[in-house]
């Protein structure tokens, strides 16, 4: 398969972009769906921001380097990647915090309704943020399996909150159909795009979505703890009221008035002082993804994951696939079920093949299309086949659970 992989890399229209990423020697990185790889340009940009903008410019940089405009500027660059108008997206806070703000805002827009509907097994933070608002008496959490969500949309539902690409299985929800169903029931919809943004095309405006959030550190390559993003459809801008009414979301923060007056548009989602270092790093990652273009990224992502499956077949490795077999129905990952998934994952990491494990038995491989090569895929499968054949995963050292998996 190696020769075939090399031929496919040679014909890959995205092949030049791998060199834009600082991939460590001897590592095959199939975990960009958890933490994206460092773009080479990030270090230079950070040095410029730290030494020049902060070191030399000091407080003047809020104006001279337009630090104050950074959340909107980076949001505007993320917007086309998720099918949104530029002034409907802002980069700020974490995905969890943005979920809190937008769930609360949606509840306020549907007085008399308290139910926030989601699915069991959604990413924990999404469920926990609903539970947090429930504990405050502001929301009521309702969970319905994915094939029953439409049935659970009754007149009590204020908000449907779903993760577009499931973090464990990679399954994709039909955004257009579910948004329509929610609206027909009088509910609003909030999409978590953490595993979609920068990997597969999303049409927030086209689907009529109300709200969205997503991570900056996965396919957008913003670095560990990068700021997240939040989207509010244009039609909700005037009415949106979010509860974290910090001074940076004020219409005129430097008027220092005693009373809160929300900024126009998505600016009112800001709370405290924006993290300039994190936003600057995120801008580099987003620009790179935007330059490649989401359609080309998605096409390569599908080709990579399909090639992974072909290599598995060729190697005679039979693992239970839990992701949809149709690449159009999944995000940029493949997940397999195995009772010893944790130890297998550790044995692969020891060989330099970094995928990840999701409790209790999922082995997950992400194919960040901007930098993963077909050769990476062929080699990863060769290592996986060897780990399974030799039983090397049975070594004690591969069974000890680390704090972060
Ligand atoms: C679907 C989803 N939502 C939210 C998060 C977490 O977001 P944050 O840590 O930025 O709050 C993650 C990953 O950590 C995720 O996969
Ligand atoms: N955010 C993470 C972290 O701080 C440590 C380890 C993993 C993460 C992740 O992003 C996990 C990821 N959302 C997932 O899909 O599993």
Domain shared by 258 and 314, yes or no:
no
pLDDT for 403 equals 85
| Contact in structure between 107 and 100 (CB atoms under 8 Å) | no
Per DSSP bridges, beta strands 211-214 and 228-232 are antiparallel
Under the banding of pLDDT at 50, 70 and 90, the label for residue 82 is very high
Is 217 annotated as a binding-site member? yes
Q: What percent of the chain has pLDDT over 90?
A: 98
- Whether 123 is a known active-site residue: answer yes
Contacts of 65 (CB under 8 A, 6+ apart): 49, 53, 57
Domain shared by 250 and 109, yes or no:
yes
Domain shared by 7 and 141, yes or no:
no
Mean of pLDDT values over 247-251: 98
pLDDT for 12 equals 98
Residue 269 has pLDDT above 90, yes or no: yes
Domain shared by 13 and 111, yes or no:
no
pLDDT for 61 equals 98
| Contact in structure between 265 and 217 (CB atoms under 8 Å) | no
Contacts of 283 (CB under 8 A, 6+ apart): 45, 70, 73, 74, 77
Domain shared by 222 and 312, yes or no:
no
Under the banding of pLDDT at 50, 70 and 90, the label for residue 400 is confident
Residue 129 has pLDDT above 90, yes or no: yes
ipTM over 0.85: yes
Q: Which CATH number belongs to the domain containing residue 298 in this structure?
A: 3.90.1150.10
> Pick the residue with more confidence: 404 or 185?
185
CA dist 376 and 54 (Å) reads 39
- Give me the domain span that covers residue 331: 2-30+294-398
Atom of ligand 1 nearest to the CA of 167: 16
Q: Which residue in the list 8, 364, 365, 374 is annotated as catalytic?
A: 364
Q: How far is the CA of 163 from the centre of ligand 2 (A)?
A: 14
Asked whether residue 403 is domain-assigned, the answer is no
Asked whether residue 165 is domain-assigned, the answer is yes
Q: Which two tokens stand for residue 72?
A: 């909107």
Distances (CA, A) of 242 to 86, 109, 334: 20, 10, 36
pLDDT for 404 equals 87
State if pTM tops 0.95: yes
Domain shared by 156 and 261, yes or no:
yes
Under the banding of pLDDT at 50, 70 and 90, the label for residue 405 is confident
Q: How far is the CA of 183 from the centre of ligand 2 (A)?
A: 31
Domain shared by 286 and 307, yes or no:
no
Atom of ligand 1 nearest to the CA of 122: 1
Number of domains in the chain: 2
Domain shared by 82 and 159, yes or no:
yes
3-state secondary structure 1-66: CHHHHHHHHHCCCCHHHHHHECCCCCCEECCCCCCCCCEHHHHHHHHHHHHHHHHHCHHHHHHHCC
Q: Which of 272, 292, 312 is the last residue of a domain?
A: 292
Q: What percent of the chain has pLDDT over 70?
A: 100
Q: Which residue in the list 17, 217, 307, 357 is annotated as catalytic?
A: 217
Q: How far is the CA of 193 from the centre of ligand 1 (A)?
A: 9
Q: Which of 292, 322, 339 is the last residue of a domain?
A: 292
| Contact in structure between 275 and 225 (CB atoms under 8 Å) | no
Domain shared by 270 and 320, yes or no:
no
Domain shared by 369 and 277, yes or no:
no
- Whether 364 is a known active-site residue: answer yes
pLDDT by residue (tens digit) across 200-223? 999 999 999 999 999 999 999 999
Q: Which of 292, 316, 336 is the last residue of a domain?
A: 292
Across the chain, mean pLDDT equals: 97
Asked whether residue 6 is domain-assigned, the answer is yes
Nearest CA to ligand 2 atom 10: 34
Residue 401 has pLDDT above 90, yes or no: no
Residue list, ligand 1 pocket, CB within 6 Å: 94-96, 123, 125-126, 163, 167, 192, 194-195, 215, 228
Q: How far is the CA of 287 from the centre of ligand 1 (A)?
A: 21
Domain shared by 20 and 51, yes or no:
no
Q: Which two tokens stand for residue 186?
A: 């009088």
Asked whether residue 241 is domain-assigned, the answer is yes
Mean of pLDDT values over 266-277: 98
Domain shared by 199 and 302, yes or no:
no
């Amino acid at each position: 398969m190696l020769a075939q992989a090399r031929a496919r890399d040679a014909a890959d229209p995205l092949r030049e972009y791998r060199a834009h990423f600082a991939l460590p020697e001897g590592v095959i990185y199939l975990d960009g769906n958890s933490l994206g790889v460092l773009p080479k340009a990030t270090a230079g940009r950070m040095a410029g921001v730290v030494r020049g903008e902060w070191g030399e410019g000091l407080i003047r940089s809020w104006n001279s380097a337009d630090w104050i405009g950074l959340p909107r500027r980076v949001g505007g660059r993320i917007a086309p990647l998720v099918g949104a108008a530029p002034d409907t997206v802002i980069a700020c806070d974490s995905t969890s915090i943005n979920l809190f703000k937008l769930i609360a805002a949606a509840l306020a827009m549907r007085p008399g309704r308290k139910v926030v509907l989601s699915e069991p097994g959604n990413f924990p933070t999404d469920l926990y943020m609903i539970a947090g608002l429930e504990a405050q008496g502001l929301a009521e959490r309702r969970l319905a399996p994915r094939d029953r969500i439409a049935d659970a949309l009754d007149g009590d539902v204020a908000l449907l909150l779903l993760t577009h690409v499931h973090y464990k299985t990679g399954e994709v929800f039909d955004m257009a159909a579910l948004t329509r169903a929610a609206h027909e029931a009088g509910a609003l919809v909030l999409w978590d795009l953490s595993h979609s943004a920068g990997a597969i095309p999303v049409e927030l405006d086209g689907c009529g979505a109300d709200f969205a959030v997503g991570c900056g550190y996965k396919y957008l390559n913003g670095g560990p703890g990068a700021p997240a993003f939040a989207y509010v459809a244009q039609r909700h801008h005037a009415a949106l009221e979010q509860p974290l009414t910090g001074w940076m979301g004020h219409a005129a923060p430097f008027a220092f008035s005693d009373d809160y007056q929300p900024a126009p548009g998505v600016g009112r989602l800001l709370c405290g002082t924006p993290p300039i270092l994190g936003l600057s790093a995120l801008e580099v990652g987003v620009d790179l993804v935007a330059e490649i273009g989401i359609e080309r990224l998605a096409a390569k992502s599908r080709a990579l994951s399909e090639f992974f499956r072909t290599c598995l077949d060729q190697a005679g490795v039979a693992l239970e696939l839990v992701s949809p077999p149709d690449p159009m129905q999944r995000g940029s990952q493949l997940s397999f079920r195995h009772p010893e998934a944790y130890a297998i994952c550790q044995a692969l990491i020891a060989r330099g093949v970094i995928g990840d494990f999701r409790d209790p038995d999922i082995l997950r491989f992400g194919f960040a299309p901007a930098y993963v090569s077909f050769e990476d895929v062929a080699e990863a499968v060769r290592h996986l086949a060897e780990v399974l054949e030799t039983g090397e995963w049975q070594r004690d050292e591969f069974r000890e659970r680390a704090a972060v998996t």
